[in-house]
Amino acid sequence: MDGGRFPIKRIVGDEVIVEADVFADGHEEIVALLQYRHIESAQPDENAQSGDWQEHSLQPQGNDHWRATFRVDELGRYCYRIVAWVDRFHTWRHDLEKRFNAGQNLDVDLQIGAQLIEAAARRATGGDAKRLQEVASQISGAKKAASLDPAVRYAAAMDQALLTLMDRYADRSQASISPNLEIVVDDQRAAFSAWYELFPRSYSPTPGKHGTFRDLIAHLPYVAAMGFDVLYLPPIHPVGKSFRKGKNNQETCQPGDVGSAWAIGSAEGGHKAVHPELGMLNDFKDLITAARQHKLEIALDIAFQCSPDHPYAKEHPQWFRHRPDGTIQYAENPPKKYQDIYPFDFECDDWRALWEELKSVFLFWVEQGVRIFRVDNPHTKPFDFWQWCLKEVKQAQPDAIFLAEAFTRPKIMYRLAKLGFTQSYTYFTWRNTKQELTEYFTELSQPALADVFRPNLWTNTPDILHAYLQQGSRAAFVVRAVLAATLGANWGVYGPAFELLEGTPREPGSEEYLNSEKYELKRWDLKRPDSLKDLLAKLNGARREQPALQRNEYLTFHAVDSDHLLAYSKQTADASNIVLVVVNLDPHAAHSGNLELPLDQFRLGGSSFDVRDLLSGQKFSWQGARAWIELDPATRPAHVFQVR
């Protein structure tokens, strides 16, 4: 990645394919090896001896192109490189065979070979050294007359056991060694996960009362029943009181207003404390334990910013920018002002202490059992900080996962992924047409971007209610859920706003929710008959059952003669599992068209095959490379077919 400046990413158990062009001047034989090893320290040793590495031979593919593979079986970091040299013994052996077949006299050539073997014997030890010396003597003709027969000497020179020994003790003194390259190896959940976001404070059984971690434990079966495996919580820290925002982001609050969870810090503590109304730290740890019993992992929001009441503001004022009057500068995005938030000054004179403290925030929550972090607005913090901090945290906890909430320019999003973020939010929310979706996800699924950037597709967030959901119907929510769950191996919803079809904006043209849960307690009717919870459960069930939906590498878009129908497939490398998705992107009208199917790519072996809709359970028998598709959003906005 970028010439080795950044590591690529893989999942435990992945096969890593390494290819290189390897050549030298002249016509001598070349030997090329792939060396790799798991590295324990954050800084790999560039001068590690060959014995510290595992080695695989690269195989020539033609035209000076070589290839080898290895498997990464441990979390953490791997280092790999290529070592290559001109091998005089391989060259001699190859030429000797041609001379023998041509009937030429081999005496001088055999003596040259004996010298090469003697040199290897001096590099060898023990029995190997003795064996090599014996063969050298035999090939040179220095033994008794019985071994002077050229055919016998030739056979000894071409013996496979000799070649194995010579490779073991090859002369690598003139070897070329590539720079060390790195791989970050993550847990399976880094590549395949289903996220559900909620505000714990909205889950009290008593209307109008602030919810607690204990209340949320009682709600875990609801989330688990929908098949999600990551439960993401917005900041759980004490909420500041100074300049606290009111409902609908009003600049003044009323008595009882709970404020924004992202205005972190009060007299009760900061980033290493929990909001008293949610409970105690032990209650949170009990939540983590209970969640794992439901096969859920808790993801915690980390937002590096402070309310004016945060202990940092009093204890370390040097960590913030100040205005000319000496007061700390609050956050602004002109003309918007965020008086309830103080951003850190990452380049202050005391930056080293600030960086160490912020790293310790991650490590504190790791100690409490958190392994997944959603990081708020990382693109507004220095790249150097993230590259250092994430590497340090991963060194301490290799299975830690970091989701970048970076709705910013593409190159910045991709740079954050290179620096160490495990996953990233995307532009999926704003890609709604056939052309937009096709172009964007073709880009995301291709090397080399796919080697570092893992997209996490969100249908909605507390900050983003796209016009597609505002103006659409129930079908619009179904369409976005199907797209997010099947286009990406990682996806998420902000609920229950999503499954309960919440689509009312604060005002026309806004992507903010009316009566946003960011600023108030909500009361959700989870038993509403129009809820999409059953659909979400079916989608997550299909994702667990279909390996093709668990990775992004083999995403392919297919031609269908309607601008409103989007068709694509995912399959495993061996095509043993194929999922074909067709979606009507228009939530208001039915559309139909002919779908072109790549029978060779699907390895169907014939023109007749079956498909089963994983959402409805219906089965169909198809013939040939064309299929007629009709989708009515009122009854069926999408098909998710398993091709069999």
- Continuous H helices in 107-203: 107-123, 126-140, 150-157, 160-168
Contact 641, 567 (CB under 8 A): no
Provide mean pLDDT across the span 224-245. 97
619 - beta bridge partners? 612
CA terminus-to-terminus distance, the chain = 37
Residue 609 makes CB contacts below 8 A (sequence gap 6+) with 602, 621, 622, 643, 644
Kindly state the tokens that stand for 388: 């250092």
- The yes-or-no verdict on residue 197 having pLDDT over 60 is yes
Fold of 193-546: TIM Barrel (3.20.20)
Encoded amino acid at 188, one letter: Q
* Span 473-517, pLDDT tens digits: 899 999 999 999 999 999 999 999 999 999 999 999 999 999 999
Answer left, alpha or beta for residue 269, where phi above 0 means left and psi between -120 and 50 means alpha.
Answer: left
Q: Is 90 exceeded by the pLDDT of residue 458?
A: yes
Residue 40 contacts residue 77 (beta carbons within 8 Å): no
Nearest to 81 by CA among 32, 123, 31: 32
- Asked if the domains at 89-168 and 556-643 fall in one CATH topology, the answer is no
What pLDDT is stored for residue 472 in this prediction?
78
* Residues whose CB falls within 8 Å of the CB of residue 278, separated by 6 or more in sequence, listed in order: 200, 201, 210, 211, 212, 213, 236, 284
Q: Give the architecture (CATH level 2) of 556-643.
A: Sandwich (2.60)
Distance CA 503, CA 82 (A): 55
CATH topology of domain 2-86+175-185: Immunoglobulin-like (2.60.40)
Residue by residue, DSSP assigns 188-227 as: GGGTSEEEEE--GGG--SSTTSPP-HHHHHHHHHHHHHTT
Percent of the chain with pLDDT over 90: 92
Please list the residues that pair with 33 across neighbouring strands.
57, 83
Strand partners, 467: none
Task: Report the 10 Å Cβ neighbour count for 123.
Answer: 15
Topology at the third CATH level for domain 89-168: Methane Monooxygenase Hydroxylase; Chain G, domain 1 (1.20.58)
Q: What is the pLDDT of residues 102-158, one digit of tens each?
A: 999 999 999 999 999 999 999 999 999 999 999 999 998 765 544 578 889 999 999
* Angle between the N-to-C axes of helices 150-157 and 107-123, in degrees from 0 to 180, rounded to the nearest 10: 40
pLDDT attached to residue 42: 47
Residue with tokens 């043209």: 509
Q: What pLDDT is attached to residue 49? A: 54
Q: State yes or no: pLDDT of 556 exceeds 90.
A: yes
CA distance 551 to 548: 6
Q: Which of 297, 301, 405, 586 is the catalytic position?
A: 405
257 vs 52, residue with greater confidence: 257
Segment 360-385, tens digit of pLDDT: 999 999 999 999 999 999 999 999 99
pLDDT of residue 190 exceeding 60, the answer is yes
Q: How far apart are CA 8 and CA 30, in angstroms?
A: 28
Query: In this structure, are residues 176 and 85 in contact, taking their beta carbons and an 8 Å threshold?
Result: yes
Predicted local confidence at residue 120, as pLDDT: 96
Q: Is 613 a catalytic residue?
A: no
pLDDT of residue 130: 96
Judging by beta carbons within 10 Å of its beta carbon (0-12, 13-18, 19+), is residue 569 exposed, middle or buried? buried
Distance CA 211, CA 499 (A): 21
> For this structure, is 376 an active site residue?
yes
State the catalytic residue, choosing from 215, 340, 376, 502.
376
What are the structural domain ranges in the chain? 2-86+175-185, 89-168, 193-546, 556-643
Q: Please give the average per-residue pLDDT across 347-366, as a whole number.
A: 98
Mean pLDDT of 222-243: 98
